[in-house]
Amino acid sequence: MFRHISRIRILLFLTMLFPVFSCAGESIVSYDYEVVNTYAHDKTAYTQGLFVENGYLYESCGQYGMSSFRKYDIVSGKIMDEVSFGREYFAEGSCCLDGIVYILTWMEETCFVYDLATMSQIGSLPYAGEGWGLATDGSQLIMSDGTSSLRFLDPLTFALRKTVEVTMDGKPLRFINELEYIGGMIWANVYLSDTVVMINPETGKVEGKIDFSRLYPYSERHDKADVLNGIAYDRDTGKIYVTGKLWPSIYEIEIL
């Protein structure tokens, strides 16, 4: 969530020295994966939120002066529709519930509310603190803010229903970022790593993880490519897609 590439490089180096998390001593299932398909992705898109609805891929993109919300044809990568935000907003995670899209902002404490069908704004909702990732379990919204806490929110009012502390090896897991709800678990990007964790929504315990470090190795990334970020699940087909900030590709993966 620190937004400058030079700072990203420094933080990635520090993470190698002082890991964001450790899984020693706890029974956490490590999953492997294979890439089923690779699709084009706009490498100018600073991916913050990613989801699939009605066969289309939707993405919220960050950076001040460049933030947007987009609708894509998955196979071709063509942008079908796009909404831009004012220069004062840094768009963050997003999700869709019952045809309504919710888009967080990083430090502006505002969630924009859009109608999915028309891509038009129909309101906004306030919240306190930073906004990072957003997902839904079908009845409520689940929000991350860069800490180890997840907030469960009322979709109509954004009122806090409960807070769950995410832990790995009995310790708080920081930098919970982009979220997706898959098979009763919360999948989350862990910022500054190539790992996605699977979180039990009731206990907050990490029960599974996937190391995506070989998906787009740092040795192959173009100069501006940033970290892994973006998980989308198609409920109709069971397909899972992942990408990263400023990555040229979106990967359809199958968990092994």
Q: Say whether pLDDT at 22 is over 60.
A: no
Using the predicted structure, report yes or no on whether residue 25 has a pLDDT greater than 70: no
> With bands split at pLDDT 50, 70 and 90, how would you rate the model's confidence at 256?
very high
Q: Is the pLDDT of residue 12 over 90?
A: no
Domain 5-255, CATH 2.120.10.30 — does that match? yes
- Is residue 3 pLDDT above 60, yes or no? no
Average pLDDT in the 179-185 region? Answer: 98
Confidence of residue 17 (pLDDT cuts 50, 70, 90): very low
What is the reported pLDDT for 139? Answer: 97
Residue 74 has a pLDDT of: 95
Residues 227-255: pLDDT tens digits? 899 999 999 999 999 999 999 999 999 99
Closest to 73 (Cα-Cα) out of 94, 93, 98, 56: 56
pLDDT tens sequence across 65-98: 999 999 999 999 999 999 999 999 999 999 999 9
Q: What is the pTM of this model?
A: 0.89
Give the highest mean pLDDT range of 9-13, 23-27, 122-126.
122-126
pLDDT digits 0-9 by tens, 204-224: 999 999 999 999 988 888 888
